[in-house]
Amino acid sequence: MTEQVLRIIPLGGLGEVGRNMMVYQYGDAYLVVDAGLMFPDSSMPGVDYIIPDIQFLLDKVDRIAGIIITHGHEDHIGAIQHIVEEIPAPIYATPLTRGLLEVKLARSGLLSKARLNTVQAGETVQVGPFQVEFFHVCHSIPDGVGLGIQTPAGLIVHTGDYKFDQTPVDNWPTDYARLADFSQRGVLALLADSTNSERPGWTPSERVVDQALTQVFSQAKGRIILASFASLISRMQQVANAAAQFKRKLAFAGTSMVDNFKMARKLGYLDIDDQLIVNLDQALNLPDEQVVIMCTGSQGEPSSILGRLSTGTYRQFDIQPGDTVVLSSHPIPGNEENVYNTINRLFGRGADVLYEAIAPVHVSGHASQEEMKLLINLVRPRFLIPIHGELRHLKQHARLGQQMGIPAENILVAENGQSIILHQDKIELGERVPTANIFVDGSGVGTVDHDIMRQRELLAQDGFVLISLVFDKYSGSLVQTPNIFSQGFILNGEASEIFDEVRRRVTEKVSRSNGNMQKDVEQLVRNYLYEQTRRSPRVFVQVARV
């Protein structure tokens, strides 16, 4: 009989930021933690988002004992509708996280299919052979949890996203006692968030934002427009508090913001007076100095409300001089350009713009280096597995672990798909499982593969030139001059002389070619165009015989 070991299979979030998903396997049973999405970078044109590849799980769906969601951010819940379609296992989440899952699942018509279970921080749930203890963690959304996972092979601590905020907005600090308790029982492995492993010191408390907002509200002369994530529930509370203090009414713009506000309020996660809230129409009819509007778009997404305000294309109102716009957010890596373009455009429309670089209107929700060290000292694990982050973040987390005295051979930096085997006395890499990037683009077809993505990238470089040849099917000779169609290459005006010459050369080539005519023509055109323009458009040759 083979040794019963614990295997950990990372399907997302290792070697990248986002689409977090971790699978624990003991014997024949599987436990899934999180089901997130990742936003595309510039090498993925046209992609809406990226989800984990669950191919590895598809022949094991009846052995998946449960799915646990640690908190309600998109990089932890965003793939849930895709997962629910394939995996019928029960889902466990705290009330707010469950509320956000319900809003999302309802939109894709899958709410009835999902087996949702509410758990509270502090509770323990038996999920197959895994005894899962939920402990509260602070993060930039309320009701986040980390997990103590007692397995026959040992106790695992899985932090999810966390920080050690001593003065969180909801007055509910991370559960230090439980972490210390775990260390008493002996922790085999710690899987901990690496997002901020490059940041020295401590992440400031969410309360810092209160002071910044007080400053903003006390100085703004006109409307205040504050952009944030729709899921940043604690920011809603902070803005509402400032609004009450400075006698402004609060309105929300955008469906996701309104939906989440209503849900969080219903569940008791927001303590906001009825009198304070108005709808957007009412807000726009109040005097400017009595209004604050919260909206989405803090990542500079062109189609978001803030994005459209910055280009003057939002249907309901326009930015006007005197407006104060606050971006209460940190640019997600890869979004910097969009964010700064949006800020520049808002300045261009006369708004005063405040953002993280020049005012503390946002703080991170992730632990910095000193917190990561405190965590290690609290938990005292035998093995350390850095999770959540690009390779550079995981490596830096590993360096910190070594500085804390964990032997190098007890720290394992893995990437998506590299399964990890935990023995009592050693940790090692196991087999690889498939982990493609599953691109979601539109809804009809589902996913886009790498070939398509590569085609798009090449098209974007220098456009394309398509040569259409129509031959007489009997004589084999051209029925008409080669037709040229081109996009994204050069302007028709500039092109006419070059294209005339292409037509001439192709006609000549065709009459003489006795090998692969299509390939020959492609090569000829490609070479000639490069020679003339130093550009390399895609060249396609289409042949019809009539």
Q: Where along the sequence are the contacts to a copy of itself (CB under 8 A)? A: 15, 41-43, 45-46, 198, 333-334, 336-337, 340, 343-344, 347-348, 353, 357-358, 390-392, 395-396, 415, 441-445, 448-449, 451-452, 455-457, 459-464, 466, 468, 470, 479-480, 483, 485, 487-491, 494, 531-535, 538, 540, 542, 544, 546
Secondary-structure breakdown of the chain: helix, strand, coil percentages, each rounded to the nearest 5: 35, 25, 40
Query: Minimum Å distance from CB 333 to a copy of itself?
Result: 6
Instruction: Quote the least distance from Cβ 239 to a copy of itself, whole Å.
Output: 23
User: At its nearest, how many Å lie between a copy of itself and the CB of residue 41?
Assistant: 5
Q: Pick from 69, 393, 117, 122: which is nearest to 231 by CA?
A: 69
As a whole number of angstroms, the distance between CA 160 and CA 34 comes to 9
To a copy of itself, the closest distance from the beta carbon of 362 in angstroms equals 14
- As a dihedral over the C-alpha atoms of residue 447, residue 450, residue 453, residue 455, rounded to 10 degrees, the angle is -130
Amino acid making up residue 387: I
Q: How far is the CB of 372 from a copy of itself (least distance, A)?
A: 14
The SS3 assignment for 474 reads coil
CB of 391 to a copy of itself, least distance (A): 4
Q: Cβ of residue 542: shortest distance to a copy of itself, in angstroms?
A: 6
Q: Cβ distance 26 to 6 under 8 Å?
A: yes
C-beta of 501: minimal distance to a copy of itself in Å? 13
| Strands ordered across the beta sheet of 249-252 | 249-252, 291-295, 224-227, 324-327, 352-355
**The tokens of 60 are what?**
């094991």
Q: Which is nearer to a copy of itself, 320 or 461 (CB)?
A: 461
487: number of Cβ within 10 Å: 11
- Select from 541, 545, 514, 511 the least CA-distant residue to 525: 541
Nearest to a copy of itself of 273, 336 (CB atom): 336
Our CB check for a copy of itself shows the closer of 483 and 511 to be 483
Name every residue whose Cβ is closer than 8 Å to that of residue 474 and which is 6 or more positions away in sequence: none
Nearer to a copy of itself, 135 or 489 (CB): 489
Q: Indicate the residue among 90 and 463 with the shorter CB distance to a copy of itself.
A: 463
Q: Tell the smallest beta-carbon distance from residue 273 to a copy of itself (Å).
A: 35
Neighbours of 147 (CB within 10 A): 24
Q: Is 170 exposed, middle or buried (0-12, 13-18, 19+ CB in 10 A)?
A: middle
Residue 342: which of 297, 317, 298, 310 has the closest Cα? 310
Q: Which is nearer to a copy of itself, 231 or 328 (CB)?
A: 328
Beta bridge partners of 484: 467
Residue 530 backbone class (left: φ over 0; alpha: ψ -120 to 50; beta: rest):
alpha
Question: Minimum distance from CB of 141 to a copy of itself (Å)?
Answer: 25
* Min dist. Cβ of residue 139 to a copy of itself (A): 22
Q: Which helix (H) or strand (E) holds 258?
A: helix 255-266
What secondary structure does DSSP assign to 69-129, as a single string? ----SHHHHTTHHHHHHH----EEE-HHHHHHHHHHHHHTT-GGG--EEE--TT-EEEETT
Q: Which is nearer to a copy of itself, 70 or 203 (CB)?
A: 203
The nearer residue to a copy of itself, 75 or 175, going by C-beta atoms, is: 75
Shortest distance in whole angstroms from residue 392 CB to a copy of itself: 5
Question: Residue 395: phi, psi to the nearest 5?
Answer: -65, -40
Would you say 10 and 415 are in contact if contact means Cβ atoms under 8 Å apart?
A: yes
Q: Nearer Cβ to a copy of itself, position 46 or 122? A: 46
| DSSP per-residue letters across 270-336 | ----GGGB--HHHHHHS-GGGEEEEES-TT--TTSHHHHHHHT--SS----TT-EEEE-S-PPTT-H
Our CB check for a copy of itself shows the closer of 70 and 338 to be: 338
What are the structure tokens assigned to 229, written together?
């994530």
The rounded distance, in Å, linking the Cα atoms of 144 and 95 is 10
User: Considering beta carbons, is residue 279 or 542 the nearer one to a copy of itself?
Assistant: 542
CB 468 to a copy of itself: min, Å: 6
In the bound state with a copy of itself, the residue whose beta carbon lies nearer, of 314 and 489, is 489
Of 61 and 479, which has the nearer Cβ to a copy of itself? 479
What φ, ψ does residue 152 adopt, rounded to 5°? -55, -25
